[in-house]
Amino acid sequence: MRAIGLIAAAALLCCFTLAAGPSAAAQTSIPVQFSGLINDYSPSTVSGGPWEMHGQWTLSIDAWSGMADFSADMTMSGYGKTSTGAPDATQGGQSAHTHHIHLTGTVSWNTTGCPPYSPGTFGGFQLNGTVSLLTANGSNAKFETSPPSSTLQVCVSGGQGGNSVPFSNIELTWGSGSPAISHFGGQTIHGVVRDWNSQWDTLRRFDLAPQPSR
């Protein structure tokens, strides 16, 4: 009897949600989730540079509030130097270490101020704020303040038209004056979008987000 009761309750909840319309459906507790990879390198002008940067990232967005949670974990390693101080690729993997980065904030459904690509990308959104975590080998990074004060802009954008993907690229750019620039450089760090969940369609259906062309 108890199982039947649960099934009946689930059926009722289902119908109630449908009857309540878009607002209730958009308040689902399942976030929109994006994930992907980071692959880039720093300039040679930062201490120990150039550094290779490879990592992965996730971005969760609460559909109702627009609150977003960005996390990236990254490996970095450098090159030895020749006798003249030039990067020596035969000495790869020097001073290998890791970084963990965390940023929460409210998503802006535009890419105003995001660094342009060539060929250009379309649609997308961004997240800006002061990072809550910036580690080096697990501990608060020595180049960072404690607590962290570096600001980060995270931009996601993609393609449009036939045979395209609406989310393809991610850009990480440290804000002017951020301590993190002394290590990563002030240039944008680039990566790729690998996946997003079906919750994105909920946002699109109820006009809570821009409508990138499929």
State the number of binding residues for Cu ion (CB under 5 A). Answer: 1
**List of residues 6+ apart from 13 with CB closer than 8 A:** none
Stretch that binds Cu ion, among 69-77, 120-128, 147-155, 167-175 (CB under 5 A): 69-77
* Least gap, CB of 192 to Cu ion (angstroms): 20
* Least gap, CB of 98 to Cu ion (angstroms): 8
Please choose, from the candidates 125, 189, 118, the residue with its C-alpha nearest in 3D space to the C-alpha of residue 152. 189
* Least gap, CB of 76 to Cu ion (angstroms): 4
Please choose, from the candidates 197, 186, 172, 56, the residue with its C-alpha nearest in 3D space to the C-alpha of residue 103. 172
Stretch that binds Cu ion, among 17-25, 76-84, 103-111, 147-155 (CB under 5 A): 76-84
* Least gap, CB of 82 to Cu ion (angstroms): 22
CB-wise, 53 or 59, nearer to Cu ion? 53
4 three-class SS: helix
CB-wise, 76 or 131, nearer to Cu ion? 76
What string marks each residue from 23 to 62 as x (binds Cu ion by CB under 5 A) or -? ----------------------------------------
Burial class of residue 32, CB neighbours in 10 A (0-12, 13-18, 19+): buried
Cis peptide before 50 (omega within 30 of 0): yes
* Least gap, CB of 80 to Cu ion (angstroms): 16
CB-wise, 63 or 134, nearer to Cu ion? 134
Cα–Cα distance for residue pair 24/28, rounded to 1 Å? 7
CB-wise, 75 or 197, nearer to Cu ion? 75
CB-wise, 169 or 183, nearer to Cu ion? 183
Q: Decide: is 76 part of the binding site for Cu ion (CB under 5 A).
A: yes
Cα–Cα distance for residue pair 184/205, rounded to 1 Å? 39
CA dihedral sign, ordered 82, 86, 90, 96 = positive
Q: Decide: is 63 part of the binding site for Cu ion (CB under 5 A).
A: no
Position with the least CB separation from Cu ion: 76
Please choose, from the candidates 64, 55, 2, the residue with its C-alpha nearest in 3D space to the C-alpha of residue 29. 64
Which residues contact Cu ion (rule: CB under 5 A)? 76
